[in-house]
Structure 1
Amino acid sequence: MVLNHTFPAMPQLLQLGVALLIAMAVCALLAMAVERFAYRRLRNAHGWLR
């Protein structure tokens, strides 16, 4: 892993936990951006389905 070269004393299980936390944060930010820029406009649009 990349963290193994950066922090060689850190156990691999802790590295996995840190990587998972970073991945979850990035995915949450991406989901918030998609919600803000795409789905909110679609939900507020007055279409023929209403």
Structure 2
Amino acid sequence: QIKSAFREKARKFHPDKMCAAGEAEPFIRIRKAYEILSDETSRSNYDRSL
């Protein structure tokens, strides 16, 4: 589920698809969230921080 949601959002918000310069922020946030949630250790640390 995480991987498919990431791919869907990444395609939608990829900087190459966005018109204005500087609109990479949503993609960067999506990528960072995927990195955290796809790694068990990082995800455990994130869950504990909530």
- TM-score range (shorter-chain normalised) is 0.3 to 0.5
Compute the TM-score of the two structures, normalised by the length of structure 2.
0.38
Bigger radius of gyration among the two: 1
TM-score, normalised by the number of residues in structure 1: 0.38
